[in-house]
């Protein structure tokens, strides 16, 4: 309405003022009726000297000006009544603001879970900025009910739909793994959309069965500069594989680690890493592929003491593997940590390795029996040593932490060391001094 009528009203106002100025000018210079009669009389009788009625002329002019001002007043009142048309509507959208801080989009990988609503609700509840953290939901499977849930969020999220829903050609013995092949294909397509089509420089990936913590966005925003500046890092993860309630220190919500194990489950990567991985992206089992030495290349990830994500999806292609025993009991952080105000430089490779190994190998060595029988003296930390694959698995299983290896790396391990809480004490399950590298045959 404003765009259509605004210029016409402004033009009319300009013409009105101009006309009034001309009219007033003419009025001031126009002779009064008495002056006109006098001019005629002067032509008839030139000899007669004029005796003008000055007061009458002034009164006549005042009457004329008063009439004109009254007309102007009426017109100005009409213009005032249309004043609302000149102003932009309060409902009109503000101009887009170009962000001055890095934009970190959240990519939600979805398929056929209508419970994606739980994931999206928490992301939207804790998101500090729509401009700095756009939410992109990439849906595979073509599941109509899930698509309807995603569309219900309107412009709060961007809904992408993976176009290729066909089965993937696999070997006969891999038919039961068809779901893993489709997931890998979906990740490949979705990450290309984020980095190539939408031209983002980083992204945090979550799946549709993850709930996030209140400081989820704060955590990734604070760790982005570290990921960009340290070439020995290749991801930041929100997940602690051994993060069950009794196995973490509730008073250390701000504590972060380096880990050689790729955790996933809410993780951030840069465009540069995707450009490295995309040409050789695997047909299936992408997460285990990420853990292979050829991809990891001795790089580490950052992970928290207390997880910033919680999985609530028992049903999936993995058929609930580890869910009932471990994943459902993971502690989700509830204390907001202002990570962007903390100094995270201690996580840089050289400083971290030196300090961490000094703490681990400076801790007293204890036995499994001393731990489980409550015979530890002091507040800790303590070191429990393992010498080979079987001893690690036996100790880990009996202490209640995850005992599997991927490409020789134990979950949460850093230089072979796994840190956790047992009976209220910090325990480092560690190889002997002099550790050099992982043995891939341990997987």
Q: How far apart are CA 170 and CA 41, in angstroms?
A: 118
**Which of these is catalytic: 249, 287, 288, 403?**
287
Q: Judge whether 287 counts as a catalytic residue.
A: yes
The torsion of the CA quartet 230, 233, 239, 241, rounded to 10 degrees, works out to -140
For the chain, report the end-to-end CA distance as a whole number of angstroms: 69
Judge whether 396 and 381 are in contact, CB under 8 Å.
Answer: no
Q: Which of 68, 88, 61, 60 is CA-nearest to residue 16?
A: 68
- Measured CA to CA, the distance from residue 281 to residue 274 in angstroms comes to 9
Give the DSSP letter string of 411-434: TT-BTTBEEEEETTEEEEEEPPTT
Kind and range of the H or E run holding 12 = helix 2-29
Q: C-alpha angle with apex 283: 281 to 288, nearest 5 degrees?
A: 75
Give the whole-angstrom CA distance, residue 393 versus residue 8.
82
User: Cis ω on the peptide bond leading into residue 381 (within 30° of 0)?
Assistant: yes
Residues designated catalytic: 287
């Amino acid at each position: 309405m404003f765009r259509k009528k605004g210029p016409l009203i402004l033009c009319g106002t300009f013409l009105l003022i101009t006309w009034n100025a001309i009219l007033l000018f003419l009025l001031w210079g126009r002779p009064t009726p008495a002056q006109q009669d006098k001019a005629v009389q002067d032509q008839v009788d030139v000899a007669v000297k004029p005796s003008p009625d000055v007061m009458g002329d002034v009164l006549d002019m005042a009457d004329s000006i008063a009439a004109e001002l009254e007309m102007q007043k009426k017109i100005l009142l009409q213009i005032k009544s249309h004043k609302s048309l000149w102003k932009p509507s309060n409902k009109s959208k503000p101009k887009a603001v170009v962000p001055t801080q890095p934009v970190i989009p959240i990519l939600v990988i979805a398929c056929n879970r209508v419970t994606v609503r739980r994931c999206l609700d928490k992301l939207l509840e804790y998101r500090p900025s729509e401009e700095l953290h756009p939410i992109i939901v990439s849906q595979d499977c073509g599941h109509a009910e899930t698509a309807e849930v995603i569309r219900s969020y309107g412009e709060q999220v961007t809904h992408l739909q993976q176009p290729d829903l066909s089965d993937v050609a696999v070997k006969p013995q891999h038919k039961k793994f068809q779901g893993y092949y489709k997931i890998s294909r979906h990740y490949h397509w979705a990450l290309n959309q984020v980095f190539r089509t939408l031209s983002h420089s980083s992204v945090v990936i979550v799946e549709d069965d993850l709930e996030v913590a209140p400081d989820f966005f704060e955590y990734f925003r604070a760790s982005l500069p570290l990921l960009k500046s340290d070439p020995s890092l290749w991801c930041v993860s929100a997940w602690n594989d051994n993060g069950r309630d009794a196995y973490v220190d509730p008073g250390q919500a701000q504590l972060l680690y380096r880990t050689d194990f790729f955790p996933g489950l809410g993780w951030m990567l840069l465009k540069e890493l995707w450009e490295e991985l995309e040409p050789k992206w695997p047909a299936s089992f992408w997460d285990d592929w990420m853990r292979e030495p050829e991809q990891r290349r001795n790089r580490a990830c950052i992970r928290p003491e207390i997880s910033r994500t919680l999985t609530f999806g028992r049903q999936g292609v993995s058929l609930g593997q580890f869910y009932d025993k471990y994943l459902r009991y993971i502690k989700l952080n509830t204390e907001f940590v202002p990570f962007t105000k903390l100094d995270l430089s201690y996580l840089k490779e050289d400083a971290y390795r030196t300090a961490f190994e000094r703490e681990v190998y400076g801790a007293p060595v204890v036995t499994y029996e001393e731990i489980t029988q409550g015979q530890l003296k002091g507040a800790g930390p303590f070191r429990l040593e393992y010498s080979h694959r079987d001893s690690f698995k036996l100790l880990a299983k009996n202490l209640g932490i995850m005992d599997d290896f991927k490409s020789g790396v134990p979950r949460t391990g850093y230089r072979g060391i796994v840190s956790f809480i047992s009976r209220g004490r910090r325990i480092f399950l560690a190889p002997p001094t002099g550790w050099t590298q992982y043995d891939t045959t341990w997987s």
